[in-house]
Structure 1
Amino acid sequence: MKSAVVLALAASSSSALAGAVKPPQQLNKRALAHSDPFYPSPWMDPNADGWQAAYAKAKEFVSQMTLMEKVNLTTGVGWMGEQCVGQVGAIPRLGLRSLCMQDSPVGVRLTDYNSVFPSGQTAAATWDTGIIYQRGLAMGQEHKGKGVNVMLGPVAGPLGRSPEGGRNWEGFSPDPVLTGIAIAETIKGIQDAGVVACAKHYIGNEQEHFRQVGEAKGYGFTIAESVSSNIDDKTMHELYLWPFADAVRAGVGSVMCSYQQTNNSYSCQNSKLLNDLLKNELGFQGFVMSDWQAQHTGVASALAGLDMTMPGDTEFNSAKSFWGTNLTLAVVNGTVPEWRIDDMAMRIMASLFKVGQTVEQPPINFDSWTLDTYGNIHMAAGQGYQQINWHVDVRANHGSLIRDIAAKGTVLLKNNGALPLNKPKFLVVVGEDAGPNLQGPNACSDRSCDNGTLGMAWGSGSANFPYLVTPDSALQAQAIQDGSRYESILTNYAASQTKALVSQANVTAVVFVNADSGEGYINVDGNEGDRKNLTLWKNGDDLIKNVSSWCTNTIVVIHSTGPVLVTDWYNSPNVTAILWAGVPGQESGNSITDILYGKVNPSGKTPFTWGATRESYGTDILYTPNNGAGAPQDDFSEGVFIDYRYFDKKNTPLIYEFGYGLSYTTFEYSNIKVQKSNAGTYKPTTGTTAAAPSFGNFSTNLADYLFPKDQFSWVWQYIYPYVNTTDAKAASQDPHYGQTADQFLPPHATDGSAQPLLGSAGKSSPGGNRQLYDVMYTITADIKNTGSVTGNEVPQLYLSLGGPDDPKVVLRDFDCIRIDPGQTSTFRAQLTRRDLSNWDPVAQDWVISSYPKTVYVGRSSRKLELNATLT
């Protein structure tokens, strides 16, 4: 039959479903980037590597579910509907409680007795896969202990296209390989703890400005649609999609689609991104979850590959949903095929089973909306008064791990012999960033201020501190233990007092400064998520210049969410050492004290480039709408050339290159060797999938889906799968209800027949064609510790792909190796077929070009001591 469309709100045209909304007034201004449609949405593969057992368990469970139970599993209950920032409906008949989705990338958000870990960016600066895994495992354990099912992290979007990006600190690095390895290790740790990881934000979510229309209007901008990140096919594969491929290959259970548009199609209804790239090419077997209010359509998003909507309501506390009732209607009337709702449920349940969760779930023991022990479990409705917080302490011994990560993630940028400290006669600490927030470390909601030391940046990626060790308190304790004289001035605006103090004899001055950023719903000092500039906050640059003009031994410690401009003062002879300590978490003071005093030998390497000017990066935030009242257009015209790739392309002078970092010892590189493997010839995948499976018939009588008033009471604003009338149009609350499917559905959108496999995809191999990961070369080199103390070194493997349009070099592998004085260790790295390949937009596959390829081993992107030609 010609089925009636359900909830075509904001998607009543075929272009919306296909993914390209192009209002005429925009087309008259400029030609907009376009996202090609791709249908149908791929269904799970029962033979996918690592998913076979989970698939079988999910099939057994889903086969027992009713249609309403499947809808309940895929639809959030509404903002503040229950205890977590996101929950889907329960399935009490089968014993499954409501699933809990909770932030964040640095700790369990909005609760108590949890840890606050260093940022992803700081973890990446360790270049230590073992400690990155341990961080993921510990965070997963804490979420598990609170009753969380899905941890909303880690982050590969933003990748870090622009250094001013507000949420770069939540991710790892603008390099896709460093981010890919870090996100994979983090996912393995989280899921080994029994919690589903959620890789986010997929994809092209590289700035906070204009990511949501309502947010932008709140800042005084007039736009009709969210910003569009316009990314070409080659750049997408070689840069932004790369780490998500690593996440899928690591077995990630969930991926969160992002707020903004990509090529003028909203990410959560973009069939090219979700159906083609993620589920088809990469073979993703888990479920796609919307970011909170990132869903803009009902049927459109379901057929484009969205599997779960968060938090369930169209707008916070609106009591309306694109799914819920409307998804029930869409399946009943045939607009959404049965196999699609079955596949949504399969993907969700398989992800739970894959990480070891069972139908019998431990209770959720916290509440996101209050720390009170008793309150309303349905906070939005003011209903269900009971105990909602059990104040469970999940921290274990994670404080010592946090201290270690933050120390090893500290990068020593400069050292003229000032460090390590050894019982200095008179230690003076200067700067607000060394001290506490006078109103308490959690005084600013979601860390929405920059008061005191920067232990955590702002937004939904934040968590509550159980405590925060400030640099001032830790350094004072060390000074007292050493018998040093110690004083501190914890403000940036006491020039005369500071001058009088640091001008005294025998002073070692340590100046603490910072630069903060965060999520776009929070504005701190005019920084609407994204940073306004790359300078230090609160007069930090002048503070450094003043102190160093008065004191000949001035050490600078920077806490920041990315690079800052150090051009005006870094080269001063009185600035004897500079350290970047990132966003370190709760053990901040202890970690930096460990480094300053040499208890930990610094081994961190900067995960981004430090340019001399803002303009030297070649990219920036789009701060002003550029498309009239339409969707702002953010053209990623630089392609793959971001961060060090851009600096190398332009041969631009810089301050500190990507991968750079000093130690208290020295290392010597020698003896590079290359061994070629017998990997064989690459063969594109051929064949077809099986047909889409369905797991049971269902009634098409709307009377069977009426709200069961005799079973439980209706909760205000709660999103249900039921209808409240047998009048379908009235039940949908959709003025467009009644259009027939063939009026707006693109070809193949509901086709459940066997589908051809992509050449770049794998047969049952998540991450893409399994031959992409064949090892082609093994490279070894000798690293000798030529100094006097034990230290970790991070040898890095770079590759020149050789083509005229390729970057000068690209990172491809690395290791963190502990070496004793006088000893030599072997660095061993591998190059896979993917590492050696370029994406060919015509062939739609990875291809190794005929250009000569050279491999380099060195201590940073611009200090590449060793090289060899690949045959």
Structure 2
Amino acid sequence: MDFDDLIARLDLSTRIRLLTGADMWSLPPLPEIGLDRIVMSDGPIGVRGEQWSAADPSIALPSPTALAATWDVELVRRAGALLAQEARRKGVHVLLAPTINLHRSPLGGRHFECFSEDPYLTGELGAAYVEGVQDGGVATTPKHFVANDFETERFTADVRVSERALRELYLRPFERVVEAGAWGVMTAYNAVNGTTMTEHSDLVNGVLKGEWGFDGFVVSDWTAVRTTEAAALGGTDVAMPGPSGPWGERLEAAVREGRVPEAAVDDRVRRILRLASRVGALRGERDPAGREGRREVVDGVALAREVAARASTLLTNDGVLPFRQVRTVALIGAAAAGARIMGGGSAQVFPDRIVSPLQGLAERAEVRYALGTDPRIRLAPLPGPVTATFLDAQGATLAEQPLATGEARWIGQLPPGVDGDRLATVRMRTTYTPEVSGEHQLSVAGVGGFTIAVNGEAVFDDRVGPDGGDPAAALLSPPERRVSVPMAAGEPYEVVVTHAAGRFGGVAAVSFTAGHADPCPGEDELLAEAVRAAAECDVAVVVAATTPEVESEGFDRADLRLPGRQDELIRAVAAANPRTVVAVNAGSPVEMPWVDEVAAVLVTWFPGQEAGAALADVLFGDAEPGGRLPTTWPGRLEDAPVTGVTPVDGVLRYEEGTSIGYRAWERSGRAPAFWFGHGLGYTTWSYDSIAAEGTSVTVAVANTGGRPGREVVQIYVSGGAGRALAGWDVVAAAPGETVLTTVFLDERAFQVWDEGGWRTVPGEYTVEAGRHAGDPRLSAIVKM
């Protein structure tokens, strides 16, 4: 079908209407040309769909740092196929993922949603993700284009970065996913070298669409388009959300007055129609039912468990793992019973099941659980069933919705029967019967006016304001207020929370949580109980975790310490039981001052819905901990060579140039706690030979241990272009088996960006094969 013929059938007003969202998550349909509504949804670990609610559950895969820890492009591609399957099930055409910004500083609060500090690893994994999703007929929008590697002042900060660093690091993953055929790209909130990204014609029109030949559509981050002419000339194709915004009638006037070329509008519409034809939303061009095809059905639960196990990264092990002849396990930590399976913010989805470590290990051994310490700042959601009632300004009921817990969230799409323009109040009601007597804690987490009533008596009535200036953070990680209420065991209590509804990006939004906590003994008693449990069991497993106040969209980290008294807890447990394993439940690096005092450290990342099952698989040796670090872990924050994430006078300077991650550590002369690429397994490997010819390297490795295993053979190139990862392969071998792998090196390892183009630096290069960036085992010389 000729898109120009379709465009010619639309008047200017209709064409411009197509460039702004019809609502929070979709573009408007145009039945006159056979265009269906195009629906978008957040990712990257699942497909939430239009309902930000547990009423529409989703498979929850492990976090992108966990995916990256597998270093397995085929596994990532399979994850993409599952996400496409989920998107089709939910009527979603466009997945707002993957996030391919870099781990420039370990303080980045949203790094769990990105892959790696290394642009090559990020690009290859991002390309596999894109291919996996789009092979399923669903578009991707790699984000956030570009240099959005921090959260502090992310809406307004101006990143000052050299052309070479921009090209060699931050643009490189985007270039790779465009090569892979991405159908969309999302522009970032921040500015780069003085121009905000939604208006950055040099990078969007010049590099992305021009130099790289990108033929997909460019969508703004939500509310990022703030101008009419500048954004219309800057290359962003779609402004989300809608229908309000700076385009519409103002853009139409700018076109009619000659300030914006009509051809710029037509190019945008053409890109949207191309997107629609690709995802089956343009009737006559492609049958929407064809999105289903004959694709193999992916078992989401099984894949989530497989990825979580494969991603598990064993940092240290004195031989305690895998467990052998273990009968009793002391399982300790708040995250052991209430697993933190994902990071906070727009990456959140609602799985219909979560396997906690307590559940997973209880199926394998006799488990004695102890809280130990509770670092969580917010209370857990009030247990259900809960009923949410939507009321207008006169108190008339618009609709009711059942909820599994006290977490209420509808952003963009409200429940059936609820008119956003009429919605004034949401009332949450449940009956709670405590199991223990004493002072119970009730809370609200949200922004706006709230009341809490218990058995008809108001115990809280106040307005809660946002903690900062980031509206997304206020919506997704809001402040909490608590009240203490005496309750008697076995007595039913009616709890009613009332909230005044608000708006986000011009659309109705409801986002708050009613929380609850039982009476609890003091922290000292909790710690003592954990020590007693550890001393009485064969092994101890401490699940140490960050909290939503540490790793989330909307803010960066203040430090790398585990929150609360978890460091103290780990040391006390290890002193009571020398067979103590620490499972680090975090999306990015944490300091581990106790690392030499415990028997093993296993990073589980944010492991998705099958967290506990995968943890049991790894601890008991059913699965290999196949993970390798996708980012360098410092021993102490102050040792890290690049840390700054806070703009000064609105400007964040990337003064380190191309030296981030392991490259910065090498230049600094300091050693991190664990290098990029580090990870142990349950067997041992020898690196026996290397042969390099041109851009291909053949390496022989042998499994010298007593069980089958998987090794990530990493290739680094050093020379005139610096030292960087240039290729890798994931190999498997039986005990005593030798395998040969040939890795084809990325040509950019021999190039630099110089005077407006890529230049190969002639000379000799050292090609190294090893287990991580700081452990070269074999080397060879090649000439370029």
Give yes or no for the alignment of 1:641 onto 2:659: yes
Displacement of 1:785 in angstroms is 1.0
Letter in 2 for 1:151: L
Give yes or no for the alignment of 1:433 onto 2:314: no
Deviation readout 1:102-152 (Å, 9 max, x if unpaired): 101111222523201111110000011110000111112111221111110
Displacement of 1:828 in angstroms is 1.3
| Aligned partners of 1:565 and 1:613 also within 8 Å | yes
Question: Separation in 2 of the partners of 1:428 and 1:133?
Answer: 37
The partner residue of 1:619 within 642, 646, 662 is 642
SS at match of 2:561: coil
Displacement of 1:824 in angstroms is 1.4
Deviation readout 1:689-744 (Å, 9 max, x if unpaired): xxxxxxxxxxxxxxxxxxxxxxxxxxxxxxxxxxxxxxxxxxxxxxxxxxxxxxxx
**Residue in structure 2 matched with residue 679 of structure 1 by the alignment:** none
Displacement of 1:288 in angstroms is 1.0
Question: Separation in 1 of the partners of 2:623 and 2:664?
Answer: 33
Question: Separation in 2 of the partners of 1:326 and 1:184?
Answer: 37
| Aligned partners of 2:726 and 2:746 also within 8 Å | no
Q: 1:195 to 1:526 in 2, by over 3 A?
A: closer
Question: Separation in 2 of the partners of 1:362 and 1:619?
Answer: 50
The partner residue of 1:547 within 573, 583, 589 is 573
The partner residue of 2:216 within 268, 286, 302 is 286
The partner residue of 1:509 within 527, 534, 540 is 540
Deviation readout 1:317-340 (Å, 9 max, x if unpaired): xx4x21112222222332222221
The partner residue of 1:468 within 354, 357, 367 is 354
Give yes or no for the alignment of 1:558 onto 2:584: yes
Letter in 2 for 1:641: S
**Residue in structure 2 matched with residue 368 of structure 1 by the alignment:** none
SS at match of 1:655: coil
**Residue in structure 1 matched with residue 368 of structure 2 by the alignment:** 487
The partner residue of 1:784 within 702, 705, 718 is 702
The partner residue of 2:230 within 300, 320, 323 is 300
**Residue in structure 2 matched with residue 532 of structure 1 by the alignment:** 558
The partner residue of 1:101 within 40, 43, 61 is 40
Q: Any residues of structure 2 matched to 1:54-203 within 5 Å, and which? A: 58-77=3-22, 81=23, 85-109=24-48, 110-111=52-53, 112-157=56-101, 159-203=102-146
Deviation readout 1:19-71 (Å, 9 max, x if unpaired): xxxxxxxxxxxxxxxxxxxxxxxxxxxxxxxxxxxxx6544543443323321
Q: 1:403 to 1:525 in 2, by over 3 A?
A: closer
Question: Separation in 1 of the partners of 2:255 and 2:316?
Answer: 63
Give yes or no for the alignment of 1:410 onto 2:299: no
Displacement of 1:423 in angstroms is 3.5
Displacement of 1:491 in angstroms is 4.0
The partner residue of 1:458 within 344, 355, 358 is 344
Question: Separation in 2 of the partners of 1:363 and 1:227?
Answer: 41
Letter in 2 for 1:570: V
Question: Separation in 2 of the partners of 1:846 and 1:562?
Answer: 32
Question: Separation in 1 of the partners of 2:17 and 2:26?
Answer: 10
Letter in 1 for 2:14: E
SS at match of 2:748: helix
SS at match of 2:363: helix
Higher mean alpha-carbon deviation, 607-616 vs 588-597, is at 607-616
Question: Separation in 1 of the partners of 2:775 and 2:29?
Answer: 56
Give yes or no for the alignment of 1:654 onto 2:672: yes
SS at match of 1:784: strand
Letter in 1 for 2:668: K
SS at match of 2:779: strand
Question: Separation in 1 of the partners of 2:82 and 2:15?
Answer: 32
Letter in 1 for 2:617: D
| Aligned partners of 2:703 and 2:735 also within 8 Å | yes
SS at match of 2:59: coil
| Aligned partners of 2:100 and 2:144 also within 8 Å | yes
Give yes or no for the alignment of 1:343 onto 2:267: yes
Displacement of 1:356 in angstroms is 5.4
**Residue in structure 1 matched with residue 476 of structure 2 by the alignment:** none
Work out which structure has the larger RCO, using CA pairs closer than 8 Å and 6 or more positions apart in sequence: 1
| Aligned partners of 2:343 and 2:551 also within 8 Å | no
The partner residue of 2:251 within 327, 330, 342 is 327
**Residue in structure 2 matched with residue 847 of structure 1 by the alignment:** 759
Deviation readout 1:822-858 (Å, 9 max, x if unpaired): 1111121112433311110x2x110011343111111
Q: TM-score, normalised by structure 1?
A: 0.69
**Residue in structure 1 matched with residue 459 of structure 2 by the alignment:** none
SS at match of 1:589: helix
Question: Separation in 1 of the partners of 2:282 and 2:37?
Answer: 13
Q: 1:596 to 1:322 in 2, by over 3 A?
A: same
Deviation readout 1:81-114 (Å, 9 max, x if unpaired): 3xxx322222121222221111011112225232
Deviation readout 1:518-577 (Å, 9 max, x if unpaired): xxxxx56999621221011232111111111111111100011201111x21112xx111
Q: 1:845 to 1:524 in 2, by over 3 A?
A: closer
Question: Separation in 2 of the partners of 1:162 and 1:120?
Answer: 17
| Aligned partners of 1:147 and 1:363 also within 8 Å | no
Question: Separation in 2 of the partners of 1:526 and 1:590?
Answer: 25
Letter in 1 for 2:188: S
Question: Separation in 1 of the partners of 2:91 and 2:558?
Answer: 38
**Residue in structure 1 matched with residue 481 of structure 2 by the alignment:** none
| Aligned partners of 1:114 and 1:395 also within 8 Å | no
Question: Separation in 2 of the partners of 1:828 and 1:194?
Answer: 32
Deviation readout 1:153-183 (Å, 9 max, x if unpaired): 00112x1111111111111001001100010
Question: Separation in 2 of the partners of 1:58 and 1:797?
Answer: 46
Q: 1:620 to 1:779 in 2, by over 3 A?
A: same
**Residue in structure 2 matched with residue 498 of structure 1 by the alignment:** 530
Unmatched 5+ stretches in structure 1: 1-55, 213-225, 314-318, 365-393, 437-452, 480-484, 518-522, 677-776
**Residue in structure 2 matched with residue 3 of structure 1 by the alignment:** none
Structure (1 or 2) with the greater strand fraction:
2
Question: Separation in 2 of the partners of 1:547 and 1:193?
Answer: 48
SS at match of 2:589: coil
| Aligned partners of 2:105 and 2:644 also within 8 Å | yes
Q: 1:526 to 1:660 in 2, by over 3 A?
A: closer
Higher mean alpha-carbon deviation, 111-120 vs 329-338, is at 329-338
**Residue in structure 2 matched with residue 799 of structure 1 by the alignment:** 717
Moved over 4 A (4+): 360-364, 523-528
SS at match of 1:456: coil
Deviation readout 1:809-833 (Å, 9 max, x if unpaired): 2011111112111111112111243
**Residue in structure 2 matched with residue 260 of structure 1 by the alignment:** 190
Letter in 1 for 2:574: S
Displacement of 1:594 in angstroms is 0.6
| Aligned partners of 1:547 and 1:554 also within 8 Å | yes
Displacement of 1:590 in angstroms is 0.5
**Residue in structure 1 matched with residue 611 of structure 2 by the alignment:** 588
**Residue in structure 1 matched with residue 729 of structure 2 by the alignment:** 815
**Residue in structure 2 matched with residue 15 of structure 1 by the alignment:** none
Give the count of matched residue pairs. 620
Give yes or no for the alignment of 1:664 onto 2:682: yes
Overall identity of the aligned pairs, in %:
33
Question: Separation in 2 of the partners of 1:527 and 1:236?
Answer: 23
Q: 1:58 to 1:834 in 2, by over 3 A?
A: farther
The partner residue of 2:600 within 577, 580, 594 is 577
Q: TM-score, normalised by structure 2?
A: 0.76
Give yes or no for the alignment of 1:865 onto 2:772: no
Question: Separation in 1 of the partners of 2:122 and 2:717?
Answer: 17
The partner residue of 1:824 within 738, 758, 763 is 738
Question: Separation in 1 of the partners of 2:216 and 2:6?
Answer: 16
